[in-house]
Structure 1
Amino acid sequence: MSPEGKRLLNIIVLGFGFMFMFTAFQTCGNIEQTVIKSFNSTEFHGSGYTSMAIIYGVFSASNLIAPSVVTVIGPQLSMFFSGLLYSGYIAMFIYPYTWSFYTASVLVGIGAAVLWTAQGNVLAINSTDSTIGRNSGIFWALLQFRLFFFNISHLFAAYSLEIYKDRQTVFISLTVISLVGCFLFFLIRKPDPEPASSEASESLLQAESTESTASLCSQALDVKLTMYVCNITDESEFLLLAALSGLELTFYSGVYGTCIGAMTRFGQDAKGLIGISGICIGIGEILGGGVFGMLNKCNRFGRNPVVLLGLITHFVAFYLIFLNIASDAPIAPEAGTDLQAYITPSVGVALLCSFLLGLGDSCFNTQLLSIIGFMFRDNSAPAFAVFKFIQSIMAAVAFFYSNYLLLHWQLLILVVAGFLGSTTFFLAETLAESSRRESDYDSI
């Protein structure tokens, strides 16, 4: 197999591994709160919402050590051991205890930081300047297939609670699916270095060299500290877009589905529409990742047009949501809201907005993965750690204010963040393109 074919195969295996893992993990998260409510209160006192708060908090803090871990043991083992922590969290529900539940939440937070840092590292070392956009799109599209299975489970939860009756069988099955994703990472092979960039490849694969552990730890800390100092200058141009992706993650994964389910004017099937909405988001994510991956070689104008498309797509979605969904939907009681927005509530418009949210999100995330892999090829692990740190912090902030702010204020925050983030990304892309042209000129 050619070196390029080997790299592409690595990206595909990476995408399938993440798809299996997060299909299992998100399905677990989708049903865990209902399962927890069915436990006898004298045996178990855990809360799914408290667990998610712990996971996000530890995730944010653990990004500070994740680059060092990836540098010391390598990206492949980092993903494998992190995946085992995800599988352990799922398996805990087979025989749950309160102490094991919260302990597993802490471990998953640590594993998430290491997993996503290692993923960015693998994406970078298996890509060149001309393929980073394509590979980002392929990985993102494969990862988003998880939304189909995740939301199918939500449909089961809405229309038939039979899935919760045999708890142990369900969670054993999810654990096996997660473990399949973990072991897929061992199929990823070390890519052959490009002759013109051997030094960069050597630095990216430090963890697989024969240096001593002490030397590796020293190098990892040096890289991490250098990267965090560089954040003030090099990364600041696209950190706002990374922050926006965290806000959007909260909105499309939690807030918007809640809003649809709270609209009593959608009829008795409003709760079931949450799962259908999630599937529409997944279609938008997969379509965006696939199209942007295939069009990478034809992209003569850089990443800016894709980000601009994402911005316009989201602005259209936010406007339609503003017109279609009642303002108190995010904070409505369990019985829902009878209020009407500015037009007669339409299920079709609501599902169209779900698709647009997914499509716009894929625009932003594929280009963020691409530009980080391009700009920080030599220090990709710390760069992706910073990206995930900012994203998870903003997601936690959004989860907090979503409990208090009306829908129109949340949409206003997203519009302002989208405009500022996209504008600064355009600047970062211009700088990256100038750097690439200077590098080409020097090589000539």
Structure 2
Amino acid sequence: MDRRLCNVSLLGLSFMFVFTAFQTMGNIEKTVLKSIQNDFPSFTGDGYTSLAIIYGFFALCNWISPSIISFAGSRMSMFVGACCYTLFLVSFLWPTTMLLYLMSALIGFGASIIWTGQGTYLTLNSDSTTMSRNSGIFWALLQSSMFLGNTFVFFVLHDKTNLDASTRTLLFTVLISVCFLGTIMFLVLRSPVSSEGNENEQGIPLSVVKEMKNSFALFLTEDMCLLNMSFFFTGLHLSFYSGVYSSSIGFTTAIGPNSKQLVGLSGIFIGVGEILGGFLFSILGKKATTTEVGSKGFGHSAVIALGFVTNIVAYGLIFINLPNESPFGDTSAKSFIEPNQYIAILCSFLLGFGDSCFNTQIYNVIGKKYSENSAPAMALFKFMQSIAAAISFFYSNHFGMYVQLSLLVITLIMGTLSFFKVDKSLDDRYKEI
């Protein structure tokens, strides 16, 4: 196997194990914390608040993460970030409100360096001809975590209407062990292969102020301002499918007596959609490359258009299927139709596939357009995405399903049009070469 491809595959596997634990926990955190509150009324920790803190600190720390990558290198930065994820999960063994929110802040910092390191490492192991393939492979491996973790949750919650203490302990222990395995795997990543050698793996410190100025200057460029709309949409979509939607299914008691078990099944089908998208767009990567130089093919904008249609269909079906009160807690209310579990699970798949459409193409554009400035570009992507996710998790405690879906549709339209504009300029640049 080509060394670059081997590096990308090992990177994807490392992320797969870490995020098998974290994304599974994010998918069920609201439900889990509700069950803890039932057993311990003094515990007041809230799942949406925890996730809002995570993404709020994630956003802020993205401004310093390029400097950390410059100092420690991408591999060590990703290892430290993964350690933060493990500590966050460990904290659930001793549930206290203060510890929950403190660890939420810690994982926000860890997320900033693990994702900026990932973007840098992936870019350094890719070029213009392999970026589509590599980003697709990485995304498919990463999102296998949604399938694996939620399959486990599905069977653990079989025939359960409440998460008792023994069930929670089993969940936490398994997820912590899986996350720890992924953390250790970061230690065996090999040095990135780059013809330019433009990653600092030697630990030479760069000025934090200089890196922040560089990031801010990039942030204000025309194309980055346009991409920010796409980034912002992916953040709202991320928070919706990873923390709100599956919990809303579980809270909709009118869907049937197995509504809690459907939380895990929803996560499984979100993962199936993500994985299918990752592998599909990896296979189509070569055709996407030919599009950029003027030939006919399945390019970035075509994939985004597919994602737009997929998400619109998903939002519309959710609107008519789940009641407005479903994000807040158990409800017997109905929407425009009798809540249907098959429609709910179909929408899970569509949400995952639509997310894959956007994220794989964003990785492609960042890797190609900002190949010489990958760390700041990836940090800005994660900054806007996490700001949006933090805002979304904050308002999820206040806005019902209908308002949340309306905001998703508005930002989807704006993000899609903005991406088309940037992709056209990138296409024109390739034609000139």
Q: Do both share a fold (TM > 0.5)?
A: yes
Query: How far, CA to CA, are the matches of 1:36 and 1:377 in structure 2?
Result: 46
Aligned pair in 2 of structure 1 residues 405, 20: CA closer, same or farther (>3 Å)? same
Alignment-derived partner of residue 338 in structure 1: 333
Alignment of 1:138-157 (within 5 A): 138-155=137-154, 156-157=156-157
**Contact 2:88–2:104 under 8 Å retained in 1:** yes
Query: How far, CA to CA, are the matches of 2:368 and 2:300 in structure 1?
Result: 11
Alignment-derived partner of residue 353 in structure 2: 359
> Match of 2:214, as an amino acid?
T
Alignment of 1:104-253 (within 5 A): 104-155=103-154, 156-157=156-157, 159-160=159-160, 164-165=165-166, 171-194=172-195, 201-203=196-198, 205-208=199-202, 213=204, 216-218=205-207, 221-233=209-221, 234-253=223-242
Query: How far, CA to CA, are the matches of 1:17 and 1:382 in structure 2?
Result: 23
Indicate the SS of the match to 1:189. Answer: coil
Query: How far, CA to CA, are the matches of 1:260 and 1:179 in structure 2?
Result: 30
Gaps (5+ residues) in structure 1? 195-200
Alignment of 1:316-335 (within 5 A): 316-331=313-328, 333-334=329-330
Query: How far, CA to CA, are the matches of 2:95 and 2:34 in structure 1?
Result: 14
Query: How far, CA to CA, are the matches of 1:269 and 1:188 in structure 2?
Result: 42
Which 10-residue stretch deviates more, 87-96 or 347-356? 87-96
Query: How far, CA to CA, are the matches of 2:316 and 2:420 in structure 1?
Result: 23
Q: Which residue of 345, 369, 374 corresponds with 2:368?
A: 374
Query: How far, CA to CA, are the matches of 2:430 and 2:37 in structure 1?
Result: 55
CA shift for structure 1 position 135: 1.0
CA shift for structure 1 position 98: 5.9
Gaps (5+ residues) in structure 2? 292-298
Alignment of 1:57-68 (within 5 A): 57-68=56-67
Alignment of 1:21-100 (within 5 A): 21-29=18-26, 30=28, 33=33, 36-37=36-37, 48-94=47-93, 100=99
CA shift for structure 1 position 433: 2.0
| Identical columns (%) | 40
Alignment-derived partner of residue 197 in structure 1: none
Alignment-derived partner of residue 295 in structure 2: none
Query: How far, CA to CA, are the matches of 1:116 and 1:374 in structure 2?
Result: 18
Alignment-derived partner of residue 400 in structure 2: 406
CA shift for structure 1 position 158: 5.9
> Match of 2:121, as an amino acid?
V
> Match of 2:9, as an amino acid?
I
Query: How far, CA to CA, are the matches of 2:101 and 2:321 in structure 1?
Result: 39
**Contact 1:36–1:47 under 8 Å retained in 2:** no
CA shift for structure 1 position 348: 2.1
Indicate the SS of the match to 1:277. Answer: helix
TM-score (norm 2): 0.88
Query: How far, CA to CA, are the matches of 1:9 and 1:348 in structure 2?
Result: 39
> Match of 1:349, as an amino acid?
I
Q: Which residue of 423, 426, 430 corresponds with 1:432?
A: 426
TM-score (norm 1): 0.86
Query: How far, CA to CA, are the matches of 1:142 and 1:226 in structure 2?
Result: 32
Aligned pair in 2 of structure 1 residues 50, 398: CA closer, same or farther (>3 Å)? closer
Which 10-residue stretch deviates more, 183-192 or 32-41? 32-41
Which 10-residue stretch deviates more, 72-81 or 254-263? 254-263
Indicate the SS of the match to 1:202. Answer: coil
Aligned pair in 2 of structure 1 residues 153, 34: CA closer, same or farther (>3 Å)? farther
- Aligned-residue CA RMSD (Å): 2.6
Alignment-derived partner of residue 260 in structure 1: 249
Aligned pair in 2 of structure 1 residues 289, 178: CA closer, same or farther (>3 Å)? same
Bigger-Rg structure (1/2): 1
Render the CA deviation track for 1:366-392: whole Å, top value 9, x for unaligned.
111111111111111111111111111
| 2:386 equivalent to 1:392 | yes
CA shift for structure 1 position 224: 3.5
**Contact 2:24–2:146 under 8 Å retained in 1:** no
Equivalent pairs, count? 419
Aligned pair in 2 of structure 1 residues 303, 109: CA closer, same or farther (>3 Å)? same
Query: How far, CA to CA, are the matches of 2:174 and 2:98 in structure 1?
Result: 23
Indicate the SS of the match to 2:220. Answer: helix
